[in-house]
Amino acid sequence: MFTIRPATDGDAPFLPEIERSSGAIFRHWPGLEWIADDTVQSEAQHRALIADGLALVAEVSGFGLAGFLNGEVIADALHIWQMAVHHDQQGQGIGRALINAARHSATDRGITALTLTTFRDVRWNEPYYQKLGFVTLEDQDLGPRLTAVLQSEGQAGLPLAQRCAMRRCL
């Protein structure tokens, strides 16, 4: 049993470790194993999104904080910067519930879409989000904002050939 709620400043110290744990699954994906040891959002970045963006956490009875989603309103969309579920709690529907809560938050604010960037062809990335109603955008459909996000990811070391941007209209 889990609940989804807005994140608080008191949650921020625990969120980087959830992201680290979530990324451990990449150790089993050829060519992307390094992501398991890559940097994660800092506590300060979490606090900034808690204060000025959207920050949700999943709390599991008897376990504690098990997942989070954060993002911010940019132009016509709520852009999801990160969603992570603790390795020990994956496969329990927490990610789906976090996306649904973000969708509700966006529609309550009059926002018409969710966007994110993710890895192509990694089963818990692009195919997973497609199951949740996201559509992979072609290069000509990205627009300047998502193009800039992907370019920034490339400058940070992510392999652009394996990245994509996705949108879910609300």
> For 2-169, CATH number?
3.40.630.30
Q: Which helix (H) or strand (E) holds 11?
A: none
In three-state secondary structure terms, 73 is: strand
Rg (CA), the chain: 15
The per-residue pLDDT for 72 is 95
Domain parsing of the chain, residue ranges: 2-169
| Residue range 41-62, pLDDT digits in tens | 999 999 999 999 999 999 999 9
Measured CA distances, 29 to 25, 34, 67, 83, 95 (Å)? 8, 10, 21, 18, 20
The per-residue pLDDT for 34 is 84
Q: Residue 136's closest CA among 153, 121, 158?
A: 121
Phi-psi region of 90 (alpha: psi -120 to 50; beta: other; left: phi over 0): beta
| Residue range 110-134, pLDDT digits in tens | 999 999 999 998 989 999 999 999 9
CA of residue 103 relative to chain centroid, distance: 13
Averaged over successive runs of 10 residues, the pLDDT of the chain (170 residues) comes to 97 98 91 88 96 96 97 92 97 97 96 96 93 96 95 92 96
In sequence order, what are the residues at sequence separation of 6 or more whose Cβ sits closer than 8 angstroms to the Cβ of residue 163? 117, 118, 119, 120, 150, 153, 154
